Chain A
């Protein structure tokens, strides 16, 4: 009953005309910047933050939240259509989504992403409304050793991301770890491989690295084909926009599995939301009877991760709203926005500002409805983009990418960096090395190190903390099992067979 009561307060706030308008404005803007490669929610919210000064706090937060999950929606569009993941969570969407697009199933991929995101968003919102406070308490049981073990599991599982040579995948993870070393070491404050470039002190920009490796690399590769073949590189047949019955049947289970995984990982304040899409992809590939299809346009590889990242984006509000702890850069900005309006984010928000708290939560669901209404008709329009001749399309993409890379921290170096990684991306393609494991190593490496050393500092150098703490021990055991599955001959055989099928 209390829940209904709370939701009542929420809907009363969120359904006021002003708030509906701001919610719509937020998701619309979010979708747009999500579609533009590299322009992310962080930069947009940062730019809009001062403008929200004049708004009532609820409207401001509803709009900013709308931008955030709207961008998650829009981000998958570019990942699917042109292989450009602008956010870490859409990297895996690009893997199979782009392959679907190349096979003329772009419409189906986009629709899958939209439906998956909607279902995930709605369920996660319900989850926040029902269990926000106890879930946040649960997340506190995760200390440095648990996070470290979680990352180990993530990294081991990332081998699954590769669908070619295992050795090359491991090599790429290691390259990613090395690239991740650049920057200030959190534990000692020393700088590593920064070459006295102040911009490198915070590490290399994810947007620059990801867009270079995936997006620009792909562009170079397409242009190469263009010269060989006719004037147009690949004629993407548009095909049916809606998924077939078979495809709908195949996406249902992954959507629910992705939602569960994403909701759980999203609550963890240490970058769990980011892991969600990777984890969902690995899970789907493991469960699939045809793992060989992954990487060549498996619809499960779009449905699972897309649901997971949207659910994760939604539940990452939990630590911020209930504990006052921002779990990622966007949440830090949201917390900043609350402070700007004189509201200290934290456990008191729920009791002292019930209209604001529940208004924001219900607005997320309303926003998700708007996103589906907004996006499904647009699918046709986005897909039509692919019919634009490539030699007109690619300069536009390159320019937007450059703007996106620049906008993250207003630094020109990031544009150069993106160009460099573009060349590397092309080189990796030629060498048959996949960029996804590299990117995961790049993201997880620095975090793993940070948590490992923090755990070691706190335990005074005693390694046994990783196995004496139950959650950590469980995660490490899972990692060991995964590793064994990869290394053991029996499994390797089936894995290789799976890949032979595809050839």
Chain B
């Protein structure tokens, strides 16, 4: 190889490295936008706002939460996919818009696994199978027995077709080989209304929204959907502990993403700072109080996690043939 070429190559490589460090050195030089695909006050928004403040302090630039709400989180996610990969637009996403949306709806054009770069898995939260107080069954085993004896009696509420809550319900049906009619609602509020009033027998809810009503005994809880018991409800068994539901393991999860092709120097910096953010007692307390089990996985582990979750969703969706086009 002629020497000049080697030299040019070497200097080119050096230059690339330099720009790399240069970006990392000056980043961030202006405020960062943290997109959320949901309305303010919701669970994803709460996670975003809790980490945004602390992350901003550590980066020396404000991190501003922007709610691009609608279409089950996909409007916000699509906006993040389209954004310049310069580290100034990030997304706080959840399983719905990252993995599930594309599997159920062909109108979703982006691929959450390819078009977004996972940075940090903030945490996961369990869902719970709950029942109205006028349901006779006292535990999951009795419920399954009732369902088998009365194949057309049970209905379960979820927050809409193709949501993690719906998928959990379908998973329970598939694993236990029982039939329950899916009744979609527009969110936790109306579901709880009908559940408290005994209008619908069962519902799958995110743990945090069901917790106060479980504690006051206004609804009964059958089990949590994750493979391990929830810290907030240590006496409540997992669904997987029941015969016929072994292997049930589903949770909702929240993580930080950047558009694909964001320089590694930037994602590494964000990952490092996020790890610190999640160590802050104030942040930890706030997130655990809202029902989250903190994870703090970095880019590689987070990507692998998403891969496994997506495979799980895909199997449920194919078996139940869920489509929303």
Contact = CB atoms under 8 A, between A and B. Distances in A.
Interface stretch (B1-9, B62-70, B273-281, B296-304): B62-70
B74 interface: yes
B26 interface: no
Given A190-B325, A450-B186, A336 B42 contact: yes
Contact of B183 (A189, A198, A323, A454): A454
Q: Give 5 nearest A-B pairs by CB, closest first.
A: A336-B41, A189-B161, A140-B197, A346-B212, A189-B324
A457 B152 contact: no
Interface string B98-140: 0000001001000000000000000000000000000000000
Given A50-B49, A186-B184, A198-B70, A335 B41 contact: yes
B212 A198 contact: no
B45 A336 contact: yes
Given A270-B190, A332-B189, 20 more contacts: A143-B194, A143-B197, A186-B160, A188-B161, A188-B324, A189-B160, A189-B162, A189-B324, A196-B107, A198-B74, A199-B70, A201-B71, A319-B193, A326-B189, A339-B41, A344-B208, A344-B212, A410-B67, A457-B155, A460-B181
Contacts of A409: 69-70
Interface string B53-75: 10000000000011111111011
Interface string A327-363: 1010011111101101011111000000000000000
Interface in B1-54: 39-42, 45-46, 49, 53
Contacts of A325: 189-190, 192-193, 196
A323 B104 contact: no
A347 B218 CA distance: 9
17 contacts: A46-B40, A50-B40, A141-B197, A144-B199, A196-B107, A198-B78, A199-B70, A199-B75, A323-B196, A329-B39, A333-B41, A335-B41, A336-B42, A340-B49, A347-B218, A410-B68, A460-B181
Interface centre among A188, A189, A270, A326 (most CB of B within 10 A): A189
Nearest to B212: A346
B143 interface: no
B290 interface: yes
B185 interface: yes
Contacts of A333: 39-41
A456 to B, nearest CB: 10
B185 A202 contact: no
Contacts of A139: 193
Contacts of B290: 339
B46 A340 contact: yes
Nearest to A459: B155
Contacts of A337: 41
Contacts of A332: 39, 41-42, 187, 189
B211 interface: yes
A187 B184 contact: yes
B186 A457 contact: no
A332 B162 CA distance: 22
Nearest to B213: A346
B216 interface: yes
Contact of B71 (A184, A329, A348): A184
Kindly state the interface size class of chain B when it binds its partner.
35 or more
Contact of B41 (A49, A142, A187): A49
A45 B46 CA distance: 15
A346 B211 CA distance: 10
B39 A324 contact: no
B285 to A, nearest CB: 8
Contact of B66 (A140, A326, A410): A410
A347 B41 contact: no
Contact of B200 (A334, A335, A458): A458
Interface in A416-475: 450, 454, 457-458, 460
A349 B197 CA distance: 19
B215 interface: yes
A132 to B, nearest CB: 15
A234 interface: no
A193 interface: no
Contacts of A131: none
Given A46-B67, A333-B41, A140 B196 contact: yes
A191 interface: yes
B246 interface: no
A10 interface: no
A344 B210 CA distance: 10
Nearest to A48: B40
B286 A342 contact: yes
Contacts of B286: 342
A189 B196 contact: no
Interface string B199-235: 1100000001001110110100000000000000000
Contacts of A184: 71, 324
A49 B40 contact: yes
Contacts of B322: 189
A409 B286 CA distance: 27
A17 B39 CA distance: 32
Interface centre among A141, A324, A332, A334 (most CB of B within 10 A): A324
Contacts of B142: none
Interface string A308-330: 00000000000100011111010
Contacts of B41: 46, 49, 332-337, 339-340
A327 B325 contact: no
A50 B197 CA distance: 33
Nearest to A347: B216
A54 to B, nearest CB: 10
B264 interface: no
A144 B270 CA distance: 47
Given A332-B189, A336-B41, A410-B68, A348 B184 contact: no
B46 A339 contact: yes
A269 interface: yes
B17 to A, nearest CB: 39
A53 interface: yes
A457 B181 contact: yes
A191 B108 CA distance: 12
A365 to B, nearest CB: 25
B2 to A, nearest CB: 54
A357 to B, nearest CB: 14
A334 to B, nearest CB: 8
Interface string A154-196: 0000000000000000000000000000001011111100001
A334 B40 CA distance: 10
Contact of A189 (B45, B74, B104, B215): B104
Contacts of B185: 186, 454
A142 B69 CA distance: 30
A337 B45 CA distance: 11
